Structure 1
Amino acid sequence: MLHSKTKWHSPAADSDTVRELARSLSISPLLSSLLVNRGMETPEAALLFMEGGAEEQHDPFLLQGMAEAVPRIRKALEEQEHILVYGDYDADGVSSTALMIHLLRHLGASFDIYIPHRSNEGYGLHNHALDWALQQGVSLIITVDTGISAYHQVAYANQLRMDVIVTDHHEPPELLPDAYALINPKLPGCPYPFKGLAGVGVAYKLAQALLGSDVPAEWSEIAAIGTVADLMPLLGENRDIVRSGLRSMRSSRFPGIRALLDVSGVALGTVSAVNIAFGMAPRINASGRLDHAGRAVALLTTESDDEAGILAGELDLLNKERQLVVERIVTEATAKLELQITETGVPDIIVLADYDWNVGVVGIVASKLLDRYYRPVVILDIHPETGMCKGSARSIPGLDIYEALHSCSDLMEHFGGHPAAAGMSLHKDKVDAFAAALNQYAAGVLTEDHLVPVSPADAEVLLSELSLTAAAELDRLAPFGMSNPQPRFIVRGVTVKETRTMGQESKHLKLVLQSGSSRIEAVAFGKGSLAGVLPAGTVVDVLAELSVNEWNGSRKPQLMLQDLAVTSMQLFDLRGATDAERQALKLKELLMPAGGSPSHAAAVFRDGRVAPQSELIGMSLWVYDKETGITPAGHPPSGLQLENEQVSLLCLMDVPETPEQLDALLRAFPSPDNIALLHTVRDSRERLQMPTREHFKALYQGLAQIAPAPVPEQEVLRRLSRQSSLSVRMLGMMLDVFEELEFIERNKGTVALRNQPAARSLTASRQYARLGQAAEMERYFLEGSLAELQDWLQNLRLGAS
């Protein structure tokens, strides 16, 4: 049994609505159900969602502050004022700044740009930057993707007689800056009907307000990059922006975009929102994380193919360096957290701080720890000289991290962000109080249900429904992203026909799945380690996305696995493994439920006469016992209640010596999820054999020669073993039969054949039956095929229960 890493949830769409929508639009029931589940229940709404239209676009002057901003910018153009575009260092900020550069170039303006350095300056408007702007002769500042919280900085700019137009999309604070104009769809009272614009989306609306219908179509490419990269909902107007941007990008005239797609390995003609999210955005962000975001701005605004190629290559190298830095910090942060968990358990909100944790990547580190522990995470980098911490937070759906930070705002110098992600700065001396305050807030918000990751699915389908035709239909729902994810499907009871790994170090998994006559390839990135627990013939449930694999002109459907589960007990054949303990730990890591629930145990069984070579961390150790069958080694496992315990994994390091030991094991653990056979394989001469009358006849004759009078039993066994093909162990158990039938007499370590014993049938001996059972058990464990052993154990388990 392989547990899924998340709970799968598939909503049931109203069947009448689905059927009517499918009929009205002549689409498949599958596509119709997806539309209905995403809120498009009428033909008009569904067509607008799939094809777009003027209804998705809104008048830019509906944005509060636009009516004041446009005349002020026109005045600056007429009077040749020097304008400063003040941006941010993430992909949205870079895109916003690049878009404003194109706009101001188009308008013939005199301008400069300023983007703060992430690690040296940090987020937001800074007074020293305003001093620099004054020296450059700036009289008008336009912020993009920043500024809504810059109350004091805007006041300072006003003192310097510089007007500030703030364009932003972050959550407005209670105290708003006294800017010449504030443009943010989230402002209280702003009548703009769509609140989900990215920072670049707001900048794009400013361009529309200034140029009307003359906005160049290719600018939507830059707006699309920032919208997707900043994880804005791909609904409403954002769909129009991204759809238009992708259409233009497929024949882009921007050298920088063409070069960026090239180093990302994306074909220009097939670029999608997913390519922006996982190819372009990380490379743009790498510039601001490890260097200065100005390099990415230069890439998006250059008119030179040569310069674009050089800059794109540099961003690609920075992204590779960023990946290495992230890997190091994740390792360090995980070690620090595991120590904390050992002492106090997993906190509701994880807060970790240390030196030399590059502030440019702490958000990525927070995301990776969230994926592993499914808790909100704050990662802070401590400045070695000032002691100031700058950090990023990532949260789960059950907790609004912006509100959590707001609850302890007095402990921070600055903070801002969204419900799912935020940034902050504070002194290291306040980190403990900060963590305590956040966890106090979380205690009143989070429930146990919030801490169980859920993977939403769109439908539960048959494998045969996931075809090329279905993939083409699903493309009508694109672009995919936040609030409009790639459709995911649950497929149950499919059989693994082939299993192999792919990529460097076999990191990725490839399966061939079959159900009836339908067969499809499935790929799971980062899950190569599961290959060993998914042999051919395994029946699995999968959560997957449908894609199309194109190779050498051939097109076929392919599943991209997001999660999978095996719902029946599995038996793993690792008999004779030289690294049995390492294999046991590996299986435990793979098979235990996500989070290592204490209600699921892993147990190891050994021969009590064999000392363990190392400690099997997190696994209870049991030994076979002649009296009780099995017994815990040392102290009993903490809190173990056998009748209630759900055992995820039983590891048999040694074969039970007797049927009673196996019976005791099966009674104690009647329904394990998985059993791993990790025992050594005895030499054939040392194994038990099914006892026959000929064996006992030969034994009786041997005893008549060797032990007519008392002889040390060990000497008798050695001599008899040399004379036959039977092991000392087998012969000893046969003597138990003779003793029970009163054919021999044992006394103080000696054995002697009784003189003229009464005739008795072997079948009257309990020890004879026990020897047969032991030989059968050993044959299955040492020689039986996996299928034979599984059937035999299943029958025994039914008997034991």
Structure 2
Amino acid sequence: MLHSKTNWQSPAADPGKIRELARSLSISPLLSSLLVQRGMDTAEKALVFMDGGAEDRHDPFLLSGMAEAVPRIRRALEEEEHILVYGDYDADGVSSTALMIYLLRHLGASFDIYIPHRSNEGYGLHNHALDWALQQGVSLVITVDTGISAYHQIAYASTLGIDVIVTDHHEPPELLPEAYALINPKLPHCAYPFKGLAGVGVAYKLAEALLGSSVPEEWCEIAAIGTVADLMPLVGENRSLVRRGLSSMRHSRFPGVRALLAVSGITMNTVSAINIAFGMAPRINASGRLDHAGRAVTLLTTDTAEEAEQLAAELDLLNKERQLVVERIVQEATAKLEERISRSGLPDIIVLADQGWNVGVVGIVASKLLERYYRPVIILDIHPDTGMCKGSARSIPGLDIYAALSSCAELMDHFGGHPAAAGMSLPHERLEAFDEALNAYAADVLTPEDFVAVTAADGEVSIADLTLQAALELERLAPFGMANPLPRFILRGAAVKETRRMGQESKHLKLVLQQGRLQIEAVAFGKGPLADLLPAGTEVDVLAELSVNEWNGSRKPQLMLQDLAVPSAQLFDLRGAADAVKQAVQLESLLQTYSGKAGRAAAVFQNSRTSPLRELKGMSLWVYEEAGGISLLHQPEDRGEPAEVTLLCLLDMPESPEQLESLFTVFPGAENIALLHSIRDGRDRLQVPTREHFAALYKWIASIAASPTPEPEVLRRLSRQSALGARMLNRMLDVFAELDFIDRSGGKITFVPQPAAKSLTASEHFIRLGKTAEMEQYFMEGSRSELQEFLLSRRLGAS
């Protein structure tokens, strides 16, 4: 049994609306259900969403502050004032700055740009930057993707005689800066119909206000990058901007965009919003995380292919370096956390800090630990000289991390953010109190249900629904992103037909799934080792995205696996393993990695086992008892709440039905059983006894032991005459002795010539031999499915 990493939830949609929309638009029920679930439940709404409409584009002068900003910029152009574009270091800030560069170049303006250094300066407008601007002769500052909270800095700019126009999209504070103009759709008094613009989207609306209908279409490419990278909702005007940007990007004339697509390994004529999010955006962000974001701005605004290729290569290297830095910090942070868990259990809010944790990537590290432990996570870098801790938080839906930070605001020098993510700084000496205060707050807010991750799905389907036509139709919902995610479907009760690893170092997994006569291929990147847990015939439930696989001119539907569950108990057939202990350790590790449920493993073996067991550190160790049960040999220390045994590793097979029954009695919650015992040679195996076996044996004993004969001698001579092994012969002698057909005393055996007539079935040894031989036959020769059925029947009997 494998548990899914998260709980899957799919909304129920009105089947009548689905049928009617499918009929009226001549689309598949699958596409129709997606449209209805996402609020496009009429033909008119659905067509606007799929094909776009004029209502997706709004008059830029509906933005509060635009009417003041445009004349001020025109005056600056007429009077040849020097303008400063002040941006931010993330991908939205970089895109916003690049777009303003294109706009001011187009207008023939005199301008400079300024983006603060993430590590050295931090986010936002800074007074020292305004001092520098004054020295450069700047009289007008236009902020992009920042500025809405810069009350004091903008007041300082006024004292310098510098006007500030703020274009931003972040949540406005209660105290608004007294800027020349504030342009932000989220301002409470702003009547702009669409509130979800990115910073680059607001900058684009400023360009529209200044240029009207003559805004170059290719500028949508820059707007698309920032909008997708900043995780803005891909609905309404954002959807229109990104769709137009992607269309232009497929034949882009920007050298920087072309070079960035190339180093990201993205096919230009099929670029998608997903490609921007996972290919282009990380490379742009790497510039601001490990270096200075100015390099990324130059890439997006250069006119020469040679410079673009060089800069794109540099960003690619920075991104690879960023990945290595993240991986190192994740390992160090995980080690710290595991050590803490071993002492006091898993906290409700994870707070970890250390020196040398690059402040530019701590947010990514927090996200990765959140994914693994499903707890709110705060990762902080400690400055080696000042002791100041700067960090980032990522949270789960059940906890508003901004509210949590607000509850202990007095412990921090600075903090800001929103319910899902935040940033903060505080002195090292307050770190312990900070951790305690946050966890005290969480204890009052979080419930056990909040620690269960939930993934939204778009419905339950069968393989029959997942046709090539349906996969192609889904493209009508693109671009996919926030508020319009790539559809995910739940497929239940599919049998694994084939399993194989693929790719470099066999990192990836490919399955062929079957329902009835229908099959579909499924791919899971980075999950190659999962192949060992999914032998052919395993029934699985999967959460997957539907895509089109194109290869050598042919196209077919394909699933991209996001999560997987095996709803029934599993039997892992590793009989005859060269190193049973090593195999048990590997299996436990795989199950811990790929199953969403914590559990413990137990290993059971015969007392005679001599192989080293010290590698089975985390397992409870048990031995079979001759009397028929099992007894505990070693129990590992519990870390936090003791977990139930879910994996039972049989290093040796039980020698009796009583030992087998005791396994199920002691481990009723074992969801998975691994058979790791050796395979005995044919003569060493027990056989289900027959009357013919005993009749033949009776004759041989009559000739061998007419007078008292040492038992070893009897066994040696019987072994020569019979095809049966010593173990089987010994058990049969037990039967004869019980029935008084032989005398077995003093180490000798004597044939009894005229015993009382007794049925073999009157012998308990005969009954036990039959049951034990049947069990052994299954363990030694049965197929995996036969064994699974046999063990299930015994398990039910034990329960």
TM-score interval for Structure 1 and Structure 2 normalised by the shorter chain:
over 0.9
Which whole-Å CA distance do the structure 1 matches of 2:782 and 2:287 have between them?
Answer: 59
Query: Kindly tell me: are residues 462 and 697 of structure 1, through their superposed partners in 2, closer, same or farther at Cα, counting changes over 3 Å?
Result: closer
Query: Kindly tell me: are residues 595 and 398 of structure 1, through their superposed partners in 2, closer, same or farther at Cα, counting changes over 3 Å?
Result: farther
Q: CA deviation at 1:100?
A: 1.0
Structure 1, gaps ≥5 residues long? none
Q: CA deviation at 1:230?
A: 0.7
Q: Note the 1:50-449 alignment, pairs <5 A.
A: 50-449=50-449
Q: Does 1:800 align with 2:798?
A: yes
Which whole-Å CA distance do the structure 2 matches of 1:722 and 1:513 have between them?
Answer: 52
Query: What letter is aligned with 2:729?
Result: L
Query: What letter is aligned with 1:202?
Result: V
Query: Kindly tell me: are residues 68 and 402 of structure 1, through their superposed partners in 2, closer, same or farther at Cα, counting changes over 3 Å?
Result: farther
8 A Cα contact 2:463 2:515, kept in partner: yes
Look up the SS of the partner of 1:665 in the other structure: helix
User: Aligned residue for 1:517?
Assistant: 517
Q: Does 1:774 align with 2:772?
A: yes
User: Aligned residue for 1:630?
Assistant: 630
User: Aligned residue for 1:734?
Assistant: 732
Which whole-Å CA distance do the structure 2 matches of 1:461 and 1:377 have between them?
Answer: 35
8 A Cα contact 2:344 2:640, kept in partner: no
User: Aligned residue for 1:789?
Assistant: 787
Q: Does 1:606 align with 2:615?
A: no
User: Aligned residue for 2:582?
Assistant: 582
8 A Cα contact 1:366 1:393, kept in partner: yes
Q: Which is worse superposed, 699-708 or 52-61? A: 699-708
Which whole-Å CA distance do the structure 2 matches of 1:163 and 1:583 have between them?
Answer: 70
Of 758, 765, 768, which aligns to 2:763? 765
Look up the SS of the partner of 2:332 in the other structure: helix
8 A Cα contact 2:685 2:725, kept in partner: yes
C-alpha distance after superposition, 1:741-780 (max 9, x if no partner): 2344556766666686434332221101211221221121
Which whole-Å CA distance do the structure 2 matches of 1:569 and 1:439 have between them?
Answer: 37
8 A Cα contact 1:6 1:594, kept in partner: no
Query: Kindly tell me: are residues 776 and 755 of structure 1, through their superposed partners in 2, closer, same or farther at Cα, counting changes over 3 Å?
Result: same
Which whole-Å CA distance do the structure 1 matches of 2:636 and 2:46 have between them?
Answer: 61
Q: Which is worse superposed, 271-280 or 492-501? A: 492-501
Query: What letter is aligned with 1:609?
Result: S
C-alpha distance after superposition, 1:188-241 (max 9, x if no partner): 333222221111111112222222222211111101100000111111111111
Look up the SS of the partner of 2:501 in the other structure: strand
Query: What letter is aligned with 1:682?
Result: R
Query: Kindly tell me: are residues 741 and 297 of structure 1, through their superposed partners in 2, closer, same or farther at Cα, counting changes over 3 Å?
Result: same
8 A Cα contact 2:619 2:635, kept in partner: no
Query: What letter is aligned with 1:37?
Result: Q
Which whole-Å CA distance do the structure 2 matches of 1:175 and 1:543 have between them?
Answer: 46
8 A Cα contact 1:571 1:676, kept in partner: yes
Look up the SS of the partner of 1:444 in the other structure: helix
Which whole-Å CA distance do the structure 2 matches of 1:410 and 1:56 have between them?
Answer: 44
Look up the SS of the partner of 2:139 in the other structure: strand
Query: Kindly tell me: are residues 693 and 120 of structure 1, through their superposed partners in 2, closer, same or farther at Cα, counting changes over 3 Å?
Result: same
8 A Cα contact 1:591 1:648, kept in partner: no
Q: CA deviation at 1:79?
A: 2.1
C-alpha distance after superposition, 1:227-265 (max 9, x if no partner): 000111111111111111111111111111011111112
TM-score (norm. length: structure 1): 0.93
8 A Cα contact 1:85 1:97, kept in partner: yes
How many residues of Structure 1 are paired with residues of Structure 2 in the alignment? 798
Query: What letter is aligned with 1:604?
Result: A
Aligned-pair identity (%): 73
Q: Which is worse superposed, 258-267 or 19-28? A: 19-28
Q: CA deviation at 1:725?
A: 4.8
Which whole-Å CA distance do the structure 1 matches of 2:426 and 2:669 have between them?
Answer: 51
8 A Cα contact 1:592 1:648, kept in partner: no
Q: Which is worse superposed, 274-283 or 403-412? A: 403-412
Query: What letter is aligned with 1:607?
Result: Q
Q: Which is worse superposed, 480-489 or 508-517? A: 508-517
8 A Cα contact 2:4 2:596, kept in partner: no
Structure 2, gaps ≥5 residues long? none
Query: What letter is aligned with 1:649?
Result: L
Query: Kindly tell me: are residues 127 and 18 of structure 1, through their superposed partners in 2, closer, same or farther at Cα, counting changes over 3 Å?
Result: same
C-alpha distance after superposition, 1:57-115 (max 9, x if no partner): 22222223223322322222222222211111111111011111111111111111111
Q: CA deviation at 1:704?
A: 6.3
Which whole-Å CA distance do the structure 2 matches of 1:638 and 1:712 have between them?
Answer: 53
Which whole-Å CA distance do the structure 1 matches of 2:714 and 2:346 have between them?
Answer: 61
Which whole-Å CA distance do the structure 2 matches of 1:242 and 1:194 have between them?
Answer: 15
Which whole-Å CA distance do the structure 1 matches of 2:20 and 2:596 have between them?
Answer: 46
Query: What letter is aligned with 1:3?
Result: H
Query: Kindly tell me: are residues 150 and 710 of structure 1, through their superposed partners in 2, closer, same or farther at Cα, counting changes over 3 Å?
Result: farther
Query: What letter is aligned with 1:216?
Result: P
Which whole-Å CA distance do the structure 2 matches of 1:588 and 1:150 have between them?
Answer: 53
Which whole-Å CA distance do the structure 2 matches of 1:159 and 1:594 have between them?
Answer: 60
Which whole-Å CA distance do the structure 2 matches of 1:581 and 1:187 have between them?
Answer: 64
TM-score (norm. length: structure 2): 0.94
Which whole-Å CA distance do the structure 2 matches of 1:195 and 1:485 have between them?
Answer: 19
Look up the SS of the partner of 1:480 in the other structure: coil
User: Aligned residue for 2:649?
Assistant: 651
Q: Which is worse superposed, 755-764 or 163-172? A: 755-764
User: Aligned residue for 2:556?
Assistant: 556
Which whole-Å CA distance do the structure 1 matches of 2:175 and 2:700 have between them?
Answer: 102
Query: Kindly tell me: are residues 596 and 624 of structure 1, through their superposed partners in 2, closer, same or farther at Cα, counting changes over 3 Å?
Result: farther
Look up the SS of the partner of 1:633 in the other structure: strand
Look up the SS of the partner of 1:196 in the other structure: coil
Look up the SS of the partner of 1:492 in the other structure: strand
